[in-house]
Amino acid sequence: MFFSRNAPLLFIAGLMALSATRSTGVETAPAAAKPAPVADPISAKAKKDEPPSIDELLPLPVEAPVAEENAAVAETLAPAAQPRVQLSESFAINLVNRLVERGVLTQADAADMIALAKADAQVAQQEREQLFSAAQTAAEAPPASDDEVRVTYVPEVVKDELRGQIKEELLKEAKENKLLAPQYALPEWVVAFHPHADFRVRYEHIGFPNGNDATGAFPNFNVLNTGPAFDTSSISNPLFSPQYNTTEDRQRTRFRLRFGAEIDLDDHFTLGIRLGTGDSNNPVSGNQSFGGTNLGPGGNFSQQGGNFSKYAIWLDRAFLRWEPVESLAISIGRFDNPFFSTTAIYSDDLGFDGLVLQAHHEITEGIDPFLTLGSFPIFNTDLQFASNQPVKFESRDKWLNAAQVGVNWKMSKDWNLKIGTAYYDFRNVEGQLSTPFVPRNAEDPGDTDHSRPSFAQKGNTYMFLRRILADATNNGGTTNQFQYFGLATPFRIHSITGRLNYDGFEPFQVSLLGEYLKNLAFDSTNLETLGINNRGSSGQFEGGDTAYYLNLRVGKPELATRGDWLGYVGYRHIESDAVVDGFNDQDFGGGGTNMKGYTIGAALALSPRVSLAFRYFNASQIAGPQFRSGIFQLDLSAKF
């Protein structure tokens, strides 16, 4: 916009004239002399199809006489020569001045360009200052209401989560659009494969105070129901049934190893698998005791371990999940607990077998309702039951059908509430009385033997399953009373679960978790007749149907960096038949129900993936004779 239309032509002509004068080396008059023919560097280059270099276009230094002649030629082809201007620290100004010096621009045009450039720079500076001032004002201004959120600090755990989400989105986009260069592109199966693993070593001390009942009041129904039928008659079998330890302190070291992966499939499908340790197929624990063995009813070692024996690996998770949209997921197989709950009803290690649908939808900002529906087989009757006779018995499969509704509610900037209510319908888990018969030996089956639980801890009320007739073969019912034991009550459980988080002390969080549970199918009158345990000193039934759980936690929500810590204290009260004892916490009071007491614990991150933690459980029996325990655990954990 500042050059005349002929300026470029004059510039090139001047350069060619100066170049020709330098090539002859002969002094000539500025206007009349005709220079000798010389090789044109531009034409020579053109013949070779190569562009001329800058050195060939610009005049080289020449001796004084030639320089004077060059200057004279320049005067005839370009505007009057301009004096050399003052150098500046600005690259743009120096460039304009050099163009003036070479005669490409006049001094007037150069002055106009510099003035306009300075004006543009001043406008840009003003706009930048205005933007900075507006950003600073917005950052310092308080939110107009509780609905507006001003982010002045982002916790590290949130940063890590955002980094991970952004990385996944970028990789997904790069993969779909083939943005990665071939040498940097990973194989498809590598990108889709997401491995994970965790390892924990635990020292555990189990202590029992003086005064615990040691008269045979605490039978181990799990051992009784997983072995041959037990003879309950005192004449033919004067031995005690298998009993829980209530008097002798024990200590043990244990470990848990789990490793698995989730694999992204096409069309929003995910395949998941996890393997893990365990000294048995216990559903509520993956712990393996170093050198650990258990004695069976006959005094034989019944499980793996001891003398540096190898340990078994179990299939812990295997599922297929479909997420057609972000707010809906359907899973089938064996997966983690899909419900919002506490360890009062379900252990943290418990896996669920079956089908579940999970959905949520934010109806307005900060309010996100959720729904969980599922059906889970608990026990399937053996196809050949009974196996030792031609006549087979009717199947009695056990199921859990469950539904939960709730809401995630961001009440304000610092307060968050999650609350849900659930109904758990356990079908056919209670024991059934058999058809009257006379068992000839411990292997002679009853037609309802399969109604006994295949796994149990302790605390639930039990009943005899077999109705044994008295005849001459059992001495009028005083011998050969071979029995199995079933749960004495059905379970249809209603729960209310809530968690309130306060983030006003960021990066620390205060969290209160609570749950209330009630077994709506509990019938104390029926249990007074059928129940064989959980009775007081006078023989009356003392069991109950209610449980509640409270836990207060302070510290980092997750142990994500070295030095992160958390601490907690809790109390729980779980009556005998509030929940199924085979599914809840395996640590508090040794596992199961009919226990009350408190828990304290803390954890410290030694690195982003290694932590040290301790827990102490103090529990005592609610119904029946005294059974108190104090359990201390020290854990060293690593994760990947």
Share of the chain above pLDDT 70, in %: 77
Residue 296's pLDDT band (cuts 50, 70, 90): low
Is the model's pLDDT at 162 over the cut of 60?
yes
pLDDT computed for residue 384 by the predictor = 85
Residue 258's pLDDT band (cuts 50, 70, 90): very high
pLDDT computed for residue 87 by the predictor = 59
Secondary structure of residue 221 in the 3-state scheme: helix
pLDDT computed for residue 314 by the predictor = 95
Strand intervals (E) in 521-609: 546-555, 565-574, 595-607
Is the model's pLDDT at 13 over the cut of 60?
no
pLDDT computed for residue 349 by the predictor = 95
**Largest Cα–Cα separation, the chain:** 151
Q: Is the dihedral of CA 223, 542, 583, 493 positive or negative?
A: positive
Determine the residue type at 271. L
Distance CA 533, CA 527 (A): 10
Is the model's pLDDT at 32 over the cut of 80?
no
Distance CA 265, CA 287 (A): 32
Helices and strands per DSSP (H, E), number in the chain: 10, 21
Is the model's pLDDT at 24 over the cut of 60?
no
Secondary structure of residue 254 in the 3-state scheme: strand
- Residue identified by tokens 């000294």 is 279
Q: Which domains does the chain have, with CATH numbers?
A: 7-112 (no CATH), 156-185 (no CATH), 192-639 (2.40.160)
Determine the residue type at 488. A
- The answer to which of 42-46, 147-151, 214-218, 535-539 has the lowest mean pLDDT is 42-46
* HSE-CB of 414 using CA atoms within 13 angstroms: 12
Distance CA 326, CA 348 (A): 25
* Residues 546-600 pLDDT 10s: 999 999 999 999 999 999 999 999 999 999 999 999 999 999 999 999 999 999 9
* Residues 319-368 pLDDT 10s: 999 999 999 999 999 999 999 999 999 999 999 999 999 999 999 999 99
Q: Work out the average pLDDT over 306-323.
A: 93
The whole-chain average pLDDT of the chain stands at 83
pLDDT computed for residue 169 by the predictor = 75
pLDDT computed for residue 294 by the predictor = 66
Q: Work out the average pLDDT over 610-633.
A: 97
* HSE-CB of 186 using CA atoms within 13 angstroms: 10
Distance CA 194, CA 260 (A): 9
pLDDT computed for residue 463 by the predictor = 96
* Residues 44-82 pLDDT 10s: 444 444 445 444 444 444 444 444 554 544 454 444 444
Give the burial string for 43-76 (b: 16+ CB within 10 Å, else e). Answer: eeeeeeeeeeeeeeeebeeeeeebeebbeebbee
* Residues 477-526 pLDDT 10s: 889 999 999 999 999 999 999 999 999 999 999 999 999 999 999 999 98
* Residues 189-247 pLDDT 10s: 788 899 999 999 999 999 999 999 998 889 999 999 998 999 998 766 667 889 999 99
Please report the DSSP string for 43-75 in residue order: HHHHHTT-PPPHHHHSPPP--HHHHHHHHHHHH
The predicted model scores a pTM of 0.73
Secondary structure of residue 505 in the 3-state scheme: coil
* Residues 90-109 pLDDT 10s: 667 777 777 777 777 788 87
